[in-house]
Structure 1
Amino acid sequence: MKDINLTKEEKADAIEAIKSYFFNEKDEEITDLSASLLLDFILKQIGPLIYNQALKDTHYFMTGQLEDLFSLEKHVQRK
């Protein structure tokens, strides 16, 4: 699996979200560096778990869609 790469804007938004979470939920202020390191950890350690679950969900959905295709088959009368 390729690493998860964020644009500069996405990374900046994620860092701000982490800092906001710590401030609002834990009443702590953390630095940009701390938030960036936490984001890197999440992307490397937790990101693959989320990615794998997304693949499983997609597989389940697509399997259902493919099974629905068979309901479109036309009945062929044989003589």
Structure 2
Amino acid sequence: MTIELDKQVRTTAIASIQRYFDQNMEEPIGNVAAGGLLAFFVEEIGPAIYNQAVADVQERLQLRLSEIDLEVHEEEFAYWRKYDQASKGRR
């Protein structure tokens, strides 16, 4: 699966890369170079981050699924039990 950034996210990321270079490197980076660097990171490192996020979601969903019986469990054949308990209280 190809990871793609929408236009606004890409623009913001490029501006962030340029700001990083302005504040932390000896030379600034231009818009085209920052876009190329972003494309490299997205293609090279993006899948590792994406795969980790998918694994985290799978783990979280598995945990939730394992607890679902506790959340939605209904006692079976409880009709007479509630009347039996009520009649014990009246004696």
- Please tell me the TM-score bracket, short chain as reference: 0.7 to 0.9
Task: State the partner residue of 1:71.
Answer: 70
Letter matched to residue 37 of structure 1: G
The alignment's TM-score, normalised by the length of structure 1, stands at: 0.83
Q: Say if 2:48 is the partner of 1:62.
A: no
Runs of 4+ in 1 over 4 A off after TM superposition: none
What is the Cα-based RMSD across aligned positions, in Å? 1.6
In the aligned structure 1, how far is the partner of 2:15 from the partner of 2:63? 39
Aligned partner of residue 6 in structure 1, secondary structure: coil
The alignment's TM-score, normalised by the length of structure 2, stands at: 0.73
Task: State the partner residue of 1:25.
Answer: 24
- Give the unaligned 5+ runs of structure 2: 78-91
- Give the unaligned 5+ runs of structure 1: none
Between Structure 1 and Structure 2, how many residues are aligned?
76
Alignment of 1:39-58 (within 5 A): 39-58=38-57
The structure with the largest helix share of the pair is: 2
